[in-house]
A and B are shown apart, each in its own frame.
Chain A
């Protein structure tokens, strides 16, 4: 192998691995209030990543820093290997879908979508075809001459999407775009958004406070808490291996068990299960669906030593019917646990429950 051909090889690989967006230790202060406390985050090209958090967690501020409406107090943001945070918003290849859509009321749908192309002096023939394509993509081509005020929330949402995507941004920011829609439309738009993202291949950075939405849509979720990154990972990772008690509670429902470990056995009230964690106090997260009724013959058989199980008896206090599943609230030695089982008739009194020890995931407080 010659030296000449050997050299470009690593460069090629490096480019493929280089992230689209890099947030480097970004701090944002408003007066004395620190809204973002040193966030670092990298986003790969083509990813659907969600910033999830309660209101006040800093997720919208993060979005506004990337869009350029706010400047970081310290730290840097890089995109495709060049500095982003020093550019004004109109020079960034980033587009935003705003929470209230922010469609221009004095322009019709076509002109709203064409806006970005017109202000950047795109040839008019190209504008026409691109606008039509974008409107067709969101199924709004028959509304081209309508004024935004005459459209429903869902339709305005589609126009806002087309208006952003028509510019072919490297990164699309979506600021709680579905929060103004009613429940059914919201579900519909979620799946459309997901397929749209696959179709156009543009990186989506989605902001929401709705954990179900985040789980359904994202390749990765970045959970923010009080301006700091709590955990980042795929929805499955975060759900099955929450790092902290906060994550476990915020993403899905959970039972937090404050246990004492001694000699490889964790004890929490009447519950006991084997663990490999060292001795001392520890917090475990046990998902409601990890607990099941121990009423079948298979369950009454001796515990499989390769997958140790824990058994306990509890009194059913409440039973909430939810169609395919039901949520039980059971009491066991003074502590209340939530149990999610597939729907079966009414339950009452003392029942035996069982869970697999590996489903009790150790989390930090």
Chain B
């Protein structure tokens, strides 16, 4: 076996990493959330002022609820796109499987920012989509709601997170032993019933993992709303960003971050429990 010295030697770097870049920042964030800003300075005075502000000022709750609505829409849309895609690839694509799989993965290689700007170009009032609609004479003037709206944010985030939803679902589907599908049909179940009673239940853990990815990542996203969201598409992470930046209210920003963290951790806790219950093998 390995010596104790060797064990501590190899475990030191990850421990230092976790301590420096995870535990320390989280502790600082938690501490800041209980401090206040007075006369332009952060005062190390422990109180619940920031949490009181969050509870009483409806703006924060509204933006938080909007962020959750957007994240939920993104999750739903990515599932609606990602699941059928994964199902098709796993069960029906045949020889085209490899190439299609690569095509789903390729967008992940392209910078998030580039894809954001691409949507700006497509959705803007001089954008590709508006130009096309006017060329078809479907509209006379540019359609405004395409860009700088929650719709644009949902569209862009769906585009970005669909591969993340696709991957775990595809992996789960690939792991379903094919004789189970044959057994189901052998016992009299049509392909549709086989999907509902065998394939869907056995792919639930993958579906859950994908949905969690999409929801948690979209909930904390600030670039998509910054690029294509406009005022009506502002999300909670943008508020945090401005509080830490121009507004110079780190304590309030930290308090909001703690709230988002709590929501995320609670969500992960429940999905983890669900995943355990749905793990059949």
Q: A residues touching B (Cβ–Cβ < 8 Å)?
A: 67-69, 88-91, 94-96, 98-100, 102-106, 115-116, 119-120, 147, 149, 163-164, 167
Contacts and interface: CB of A to CB of B under 8 A. Distances in A.
Contact of A102 (B177, B190, B281): B177
A167 B280 contact: no
Contact of A104 (B180, B185, B186, B188): B180
Contacts of A88: 185, 190
B128 to A, nearest CB: 45
B186 A67 contact: yes
Contacts of A115: 184, 187, 189, 197
Contacts of A98: 179, 182-183
A95 B186 contact: yes
B183 A102 contact: yes
A105 B203 CA distance: 12
Nearest to A114: B187
A149 B280 CA distance: 8
Given A106-B280, A149-B280, A119 B189 contact: yes
Contacts of B72: none
Interface residues of B, number: 19
A181 to B, nearest CB: 17
B201 interface: yes
Contact of A106 (B177, B182, B202): B202
A68 B177 CA distance: 18
Contacts of A89: 182, 185-186
10 contacts: A90-B189, A96-B183, A98-B179, A98-B182, A102-B177, A105-B202, A115-B184, A115-B189, A119-B190, A119-B197
A116 B193 CA distance: 11
Nearest to B197: A119
Contacts of A94: 186
A102 B194 CA distance: 14
Q: What 4 A-B pairs have minimum CB-CB distances, sorted nearest first?
A: A116-B187, A102-B179, A119-B189, A102-B183
Nearest to B193: A119
B187 A119 contact: yes
B2 to A, nearest CB: 34
Contacts of A164: 186-187
B198 interface: yes
A119 B193 CA distance: 7
Nearest to B179: A102
Given A96-B186, A100-B179, A102-B179, 9 more contacts: A89-B185, A90-B185, A95-B187, A99-B179, A103-B183, A105-B180, A105-B280, A116-B187, A116-B189
B198 A119 contact: no
Nearest to B204: A106
Interface string B152-189: 00000000000000000000000001011011111111
A95 B186 CA distance: 6
A135 to B, nearest CB: 16
B207 to A, nearest CB: 14
B190 A104 contact: no
A104 B198 contact: yes
A163 B280 contact: no
> Which interface residue of B186, B193, B201 has the most chain A CB atoms within 10 A?
B186
Given A69-B182, A102-B177, A102-B182, A116 B201 contact: no
Nearest to A67: B186
A102 B182 CA distance: 9
Nearest to A106: B280
Contacts of B183: 96, 98, 102-104
A120 B184 CA distance: 11
Interface string B192-215: 010001100110000000000000
A115 B73 CA distance: 35
Contacts of A91: 188
A120 B179 contact: no
Nearest to A118: B197
A180 to B, nearest CB: 13
